[in-house]
Amino acid sequence: MTDAIKIDVWSDIACPWCYIGKRNLESGLAAVSADDDAPVVDVTFHSFELSPDTPVDFEGDELDFLATHKGMERDQVAAMLSNVTGVAGQAGLEYRFDLLKHTNTVKAHELLHFAKANGRQAELAERLMSAYFTEGRHLGREDELVALASDVGLDADAAREALQTERYLADVRADQAQASAYGINGVPFFVIDGKYGVSGAQPAEAFAQIARQVWAERKGEGAVVDA
């Protein structure tokens, strides 16, 4: 049996393009799952902090943050958010930047590693991004993170203990170091089988194509075309 294609995804739960990229990846993989010889794929999420200096409780809305962080005028930021909201809608996501609570994401990344250790990383990644972008939940606060962990079947007390002891902080830093070694300076970034890099929230069709190409390469049926 051919080993699964390994897809390593560097992302930040506070990155709007990362959620879009995640959903497009899922849609692309769903499309190839109907193939007669469907690729077997294993997806792992890795930590990348877009704004590690962000306070847990940021005073202001998303427009305030981006205007300050990027030095843009508020009307420019509003247009940018309107655009990404439209793209998210095409991916089946309903972004609510009016509800969004910008925060530091390192604890969310620690929780994702806790979830990985307990076989629930994919479920938690979805729950965190949905909570952040569509529900206006505050993902910098321990109680909120523990509640979301519980939503996907993780033990609440164990999740809280992992956060309080920073047990998985070293894993977060290791992911970030690996991203630096790969030369990743923006997310989402997808590494396929440790050899091929795909940058940005590509459309579902692109992910379907590369999955089929890598699967064919694994079976000696052709070469992969750069994405």
Q: What are phi and psi of 41, to 5 degrees?
A: -130, 140
pLDDT number for residue 2: 76
According to the CATH classification, is domain 5-218 in 1.10.3720.10?
no
pLDDT digits (tens, 9 = 90+) for 83-110: 999 999 999 999 999 999 999 999 999 9
**pTM of the entire structure?**
0.94
- For tokens 């609440």, the residue is 156
Whose tokens are 């899922």? That residue is 26
Check whether 224 has a pLDDT greater than 70.
no
Q: How far apart are CA 57 and CA 140, in angstroms?
A: 8
- The Cα 132–Cα 96 span in angstroms is 9
For residue 44, the cross-strand partners are: 8
Order of strands across the sheet with 5-11? 41-47, 5-11, 189-192, 196-199
> Cα(first)–Cα(last) distance of the chain, in Å?
26
Query: Which tens digits make up the pLDDT trace of 29-86?
Result: 999 999 999 999 999 999 999 999 999 999 888 899 888 877 889 899 999 999 999 9
Per-residue model confidence (pLDDT) at position 225: 43
